[in-house]
Amino acid sequence: MTSVLDPRVTPARGDVAAAHLEGTVRAERFIKGVTRRCSTGIAALCARPDNEAERQTELIFGEDFTVYDEALGWAWGQAARDGYVGYVRSDALASADVQPTHRVSARITFAFPRPNVKAPPCLTLPYLTALSVTGEEGAFQKTAEGYFVPRIHLSPLNESLAADPVAAALRFLGVPYLWGGRTAMGLDCSGLVQTALAAVGIAAPRDTDMQEAALGEARPVDAQDLQRGDLVFWKGHVGWIADECWLLHANAHHMEVALEPLGDAVARLNAQGLPLRAVRRL
């Protein structure tokens, strides 16, 4: 398992840290933190408070984020979904005062200011976005924020959105590769795995090494024994076995989510000094 002191999931800096870490880490002050909620469709969680900083992962609308420090338009804290720590633009966060009732079941949808598809959309809402529905008007459901979302694109919060995680991942076929991404606007290999598992109610950590350590049962690294739904890992990369010898993965070689013969991927990565190193069966 990932160490509790892994900086990716440990809200601690030299000047400030989460109150629950007092006695475990050194910091000038310890803060309980304030829970806020992502109020824009997609918000980058960055390594530094800088618009040009590396995108580590993303928050999507409705996801909670505990803020421990805030300065110069940036909030530093920890994402509730997977514990990832980083910086988010302060204007992408709002108070967390409503409880979600539904999720977006379409690959992507829009929130409108009124129940009319001709209205200019207010937000782009990714797959799995959690919303609090307060009413209906025609073909739309109204959210607590006053937005209108197509009813056909929403499902009750407790409803599974896919028959299995591979089926969920296949919905993203052809989506562009984006480092740190986890939506249909762009995603990376571990983002695809995390999102597909969330669709069937399975929580997963964010990065490939964390997923390798936390998910499933270890299986022999033997291409003859693979089955649909197995996760295959290289150093820094992960993909789904979609069917027999086909690998489904978001990758920078194709710059998209692609189906690729597993043998081709293994040979290409071997040539880069990256042998297949683990198989996990859920």
Q: Map tokens 């949808």 to a residue.
A: 109
Residue-wise pLDDT tens digits, 62-103: 999 999 999 999 999 999 999 999 999 999 999 988 999 999
Listed residues 121, 156, 191: the one ending a domain: 156
CA torsion through residues 104, 106, 108, 110, sign: negative
- pTM for the predicted model, two decimal places: 0.94
* Position 3 in a domain: no
Residue-wise pLDDT tens digits, 97-119: 899 999 999 999 999 999 999 99
Residue-wise pLDDT tens digits, 29-58: 999 999 999 999 999 999 999 999 999 999
Supply 3's token pair: 């160490």
3-state SS, residue 38:
strand
**Do both 272 and 227 map to the same domain?**
yes
Residue-wise pLDDT tens digits, 124-181: 999 999 999 999 999 999 999 999 999 999 999 988 899 999 999 999 999 999 999 9
Q: What is the CATH number of the domain that holds 46?
A: 2.30.30.40
Q: What is the CATH number of the domain that holds 231?
A: 3.90.1720.10
- Tell me, what DSSP letter sits at residue 120? P
